[in-house]
Amino acid sequence: MTATEDLDLILKTMANTIVANTDYFCELDQVVGDGDFGYSLRSGFEVVQAELETFDHSNVGALLKKVGFVISSKVGGSSGPIWGTAFLRAAKEAGERIDISHEEVIAILRAAVTGIMDRGGASLGEKTLLDALVPAIDALETGLAQPGAAADHGTAAIQAAADAAVTAAEATKPMLAMRGRAAYTGERSIGSVDAGATAVGVILQSISGAWREAHA
């Protein structure tokens, strides 16, 4: 599979997972948020789900850029600018590449994280999706550096990243929310997982399963 075919698989799985878990993500968000997180994400990823094949697939950056524009324009609330910026920064880092090394994958993901931090003003430990995403990328980087990573097409590394995200998302439970609507609830935000961080774990587990099946 080419890099754009791999990215297609990831984006399709991501969109399908978000649409399928809309209600669950909203339930998570209802605890200390406004309860529309799942609906907000779905409004953009339904478009990705339906129109992905029509997007520019000439290179990795072009495909990521189109997704970023869709998310930025279709997703409401704070999620649209944050998730959209993540894709646009990733697109800029990817550029016109049609093949991507393991090191470049990590650089692209790190660029997305920087975009989220810049756009949302968040840092690690503030009970946001970053608290699951960054540990997942760290685990992915470690896994892709292993000798067997090329032989199994990164399957074990991606599973390790997904597992790290789930563990890290659960670890947001005792945190005090410092960003977004949840921050306004103060200490009431303690004791529940962050919806965005949990969503990252759910999405990555789905991607891991789809990746394993495609590269078996």
* Tens digits of residue pLDDT in 45-102: 999 999 999 999 999 999 999 999 999 999 988 889 999 999 999 999 999 999 999 9
Chain length of the chain: 216
Give the contacts of 18 (CB within 8 A, at least 6 positions apart): 25, 38, 41, 42, 45, 199, 203
The pTM of the full predicted model, rounded to 2 decimals, is 0.93
Q: How many helices (H) and strands (E) does the chain have?
A: 9, 0
Boundaries of every domain in the chain: 3-214
Domain 3-214 belongs to what architecture?
Alpha Horseshoe (1.25)
Residue-wise pLDDT tens digits, 165-211: 999 999 998 776 655 554 444 454 565 889 999 999 999 999 999 99
For the stretch 86-94, contacts whose Cβ atoms lie closer than 8 Å and that sit 24 or more positions apart, written own/partner, are 86/112, 86/113, 86/115, 86/116, 87/112, 88/64, 88/115, 89/114, 89/115, 90/64, 90/115, 91/60, 91/61, 91/62, 91/63, 91/64, 91/65, 92/61, 92/65, 93/61, 94/59, 94/60, 94/61, 94/64
Least Cα distance to 161 among 181, 182, 141 occurs for: 141
What pLDDT is attached to residue 55? 97
- The residue among 54, 76, 70 whose CA lies nearest residue 8 is 54
Burial 38-64 (b: 16+ CB within 10 A, else e): bbbbbbbbbbbbeebeebebebbbbbb
